[in-house]
Structure 1
Amino acid sequence: MSDYTYQMLAIVIYLVGMLVIGWYAYRRTSNLTDYMLGGRSLGPAVTALSAGAADMSGWLLMGLPGAIYFSGLSEAWMAIGLTIGAYLNWLFVAPRLRVYTQVSSDSITIPSYLDSRLKDNSKILRVASGLIILVFFTFYVSSGMVAGGVFFESSFNMNYHGGLLLVSTVIILYTLFGGFLAVSYTDFVQGLIMFLSLIIVPLFGFFLTGGFSETADSIRTVNPDAFNFLKGVSAAAIISSVAWGLGYFGQPHIIVRFMAIKSVKETKQARRIGIGWMILSLLGASTTALVGIAYFQQHPEASLTDPEAVFIALGQIIFHPFIAGILLAAVLAAIMSTISSQLIVTSSALIEDLYKAVIKKDDDDKKYVLYGRIAILIVSLVAMYFAWEKNSTILDLVSFAWAGFGAAFGPTILLSLYWRKINSIGALSGMVVGAVTVMVWGNIDALSGTLYEIVPGFILNLIVTMLVSTLTHKPNQAIDKEFDEALELLHKER
């Protein structure tokens, strides 16, 4: 068989495996809580790796190695910021959110939690949150589909639209039928594939480049400042990169995993697994880039035209074509895991937070599960429509949306878990200010080029929410009772 056939075989096996997992999850899904939140039954390993895989996307295997290959370790500050942010998210948000969403009306989405936690009878906060998620994630999913189409176009010379349809069809099928469980189980497997790939590529790469000492010498020959974290980086640039970590507190597709874990007790083990996976994966991605610099310096006949393809190129050089195909599947896994996670959260927002909360409240669970599946199909088709014309503007939305979610939801989530006086007026005011700040700041080059828009957005949301909540605070026995009950249950389960 040709190299192409071996690699395509590996991809087909991977895609079929995702569909099998979707079928297994379908058999375990019987009601809306199962479909939207997996029946709060996830174990620590599945919770941790599915959260990590949903988070990282193709940036982990292509964007980060490409940036470090091109500029050296001065590009690693974002990875450092993300690791710190993810750890703090697991430490401060995961245990409390797991308890509070259960105590407060057994909420299964972020908007429904905020609505119940703040006793917002107007439903404005819930609808606004649901609409933000629906709009941003539809474009977010679209950007992932573009990446999937580009992946097949660049890796297998497949027509862009053919690749787009193939990736989208597989994701739609397992997400539509298996719901949250399918997304979590596939993300777990995809997380494992990504992790193992990022360990074996640099490890075997060192044998080709002559070990640590010779590899380091080759890297310094190409770029004497490759190991300098501060070379050519301003203080504002470091703050902007590290500030990506702030986004974690407000990413619905990540923090929804905290709501789905079996118990608070298991969040500690999940945190250790998740952060361990993240640190080793990020180290693997960074080391892959450095090994790539050394290899292509030592073998000038093997040129690398695209720095972001350094992981794929090394995999094809080092391993048998079938193994190289599995490494290609790792890149595809990174793309697909994020799309499916965002798709299920978007469906939840459409059905649980817009249709069920506002339009019709009295259908049975089986009908809502059906509506959830229809919602996934509709959102997917809309996202595919936007992705049909390969558009770099959609791909640029990722950093903007990360900042938008982080600044709009992050402070609100944190305050709702730790400050009993936050109210719906304050939360809505802060969310609007945070989102508008990101939109304005991000569209003014002089500002966004100096400081990442999540920083002012997050800070202003925090200030406005606390100020407005303090000025409009009225004692509410139901809120106080739930707050105390959540704290009591938190201490008991720990």
Structure 2
Amino acid sequence: MTIKIILLVAFFAVMIGVGVYCRKSATDVNGFVLGGRSVGPWLTAFAYGTSYFSAVIFVGYAGQFGWKFGVASTWIGLGNAFIGSLLAWVILGRRTRVMTQHLNSATMPQFFGSRFDSNALKLATSLIIFVFLIPYTASLYNGLSRLFEMAFNVDYTICIVVMALLTAIYVIAGGYMATAINDFIQGIVMLVGIVAIIYSVLKIHGGFSGSLAALAEVSDPEVSTVPGVFASFFGPDPAGLAGVILLTSLG
């Protein structure tokens, strides 16, 4: 437990340190919101990835969809990776950057307002982002707080308050550049964690085949009564799986 606390404190210190370090990049609106347009591809990729695939993957997908669809839930991850991420960046990434820079837009509402010369569209975009970011942010804080509560036996409310304060400190201090660098660090931690989980599962069950065999023995009458369905290619509910892939990849 002591090692966990030390690592946690060190991680928090790094987060705040990054925010303080990035103050020089947040001296104006362009620097605060866009990092001076000098963040770079790797930091941008990790910032996008850790925002897109964070508590949603480790708590929501793993807990709900992993149990509901079994190994077939891998299709959801592939759909999100290739349709929701890669395709979106290939089609929109460079075009959006060029146009926002040309129109000198720092935010998407500002871009839409300038691109279509419409204050109404600018306002509508702002409202959409504001409204839907609330449940999104709430789900992230909820998922992470549940994990911290379980791992460190700390009260759920305290976890939320501490995380909100730490996030506010480094975001206010360093703006988007601090967010991108911290996301990069957190992305590395996530990748290491994913590799460690996969390695542990494979080691415990004697490899990939053994892991699938163990998964095939899992049964849940509320999901399906078919033996071995959780280790099947499309899981117990192919139609539901397809719906989730489309919803999460294109939604």
TM-score by length of 2: 0.87
In the TM superposition, structure 1's runs of 4+ consecutive aligned residues that sit over 4 Å from their partners are none
Residue equivalent to 2:222: none
Q: Does 1:49 align with 2:64?
A: no
One-letter code aligned to 2:112 = L
One-letter code aligned to 1:155 = A
The answer to whether the Cα contact below 8 Å between 1:19 and 1:173 also exists between their aligned partners in 2 is yes
Alignment of 1:78-477 (within 5 A): 78-83=76-81, 84-104=83-103, 106-120=104-118, 123-222=119-218, 224-235=228-239, 237-247=241-251
One-letter code aligned to 2:97 = R
One-letter code aligned to 1:117 = R
Partners in 1 of 2:184 and 2:59 — Cα distance? 20
Partners in 2 of 1:190 and 1:7 — Cα distance? 16
What's the CA shift string for 1:351-370, capped at 9, x where partnerless? Answer: xxxxxxxxxxxxxxxxxxxx
What's the CA shift string for 1:79-118, capped at 9, x where partnerless? Answer: 23212221110110001101111112x1111111111111
Q: In 2 relative to 1, CA 125–17 (structure 1 residues): closer, same or farther, beyond 3 Å?
A: same
Aligned to 1:108, the other structure's residue is in SS state coil
One-letter code aligned to 1:22 = G
The answer to whether the Cα contact below 8 Å between 2:142 and 2:160 also exists between their aligned partners in 1 is yes
Q: Does 1:32 align with 2:29?
A: yes
Partners in 2 of 1:61 and 1:143 — Cα distance? 12
The number of aligned residues is 241
Shift of 1:193: 0.8
The answer to whether the Cα contact below 8 Å between 1:75 and 1:229 also exists between their aligned partners in 2 is no
Q: Which runs of 5+ in 1 are unaligned?
A: 248-494
Shift of 1:45: 0.9
Partners in 1 of 2:62 and 2:181 — Cα distance? 27
Q: Does 1:58 align with 2:24?
A: no
The answer to whether the Cα contact below 8 Å between 1:81 and 1:243 also exists between their aligned partners in 2 is no
- Report sequence identity in percent: 28
Aligned to 1:72, the other structure's residue is in SS state helix
Bigger Rg over Cα: 1
Q: In 2 relative to 1, CA 232–147 (structure 1 residues): closer, same or farther, beyond 3 Å?
A: closer
Shift of 1:162: 1.5
Residue equivalent to 2:72: 74
Partners in 2 of 1:139 and 1:167 — Cα distance? 16
Q: In 2 relative to 1, CA 212–149 (structure 1 residues): closer, same or farther, beyond 3 Å?
A: closer
One-letter code aligned to 2:117 = K
Partners in 1 of 2:217 and 2:120 — Cα distance? 60
What's the CA shift string for 1:233-282, capped at 9, x where partnerless? Answer: 243651343332113xxxxxxxxxxxxxxxxxxxxxxxxxxxxxxxxxxx
One-letter code aligned to 2:108 = I
Return the structure number with greater relative CO, CA threshold 8 A, min gap 6. 2
What's the CA shift string for 1:364-406, capped at 9, x where partnerless? Answer: xxxxxxxxxxxxxxxxxxxxxxxxxxxxxxxxxxxxxxxxxxx
Q: In 2 relative to 1, CA 200–157 (structure 1 residues): closer, same or farther, beyond 3 Å?
A: closer
The answer to whether the Cα contact below 8 Å between 2:22 and 2:177 also exists between their aligned partners in 1 is yes
Shift of 1:51: 0.7
RMSD: 2.0
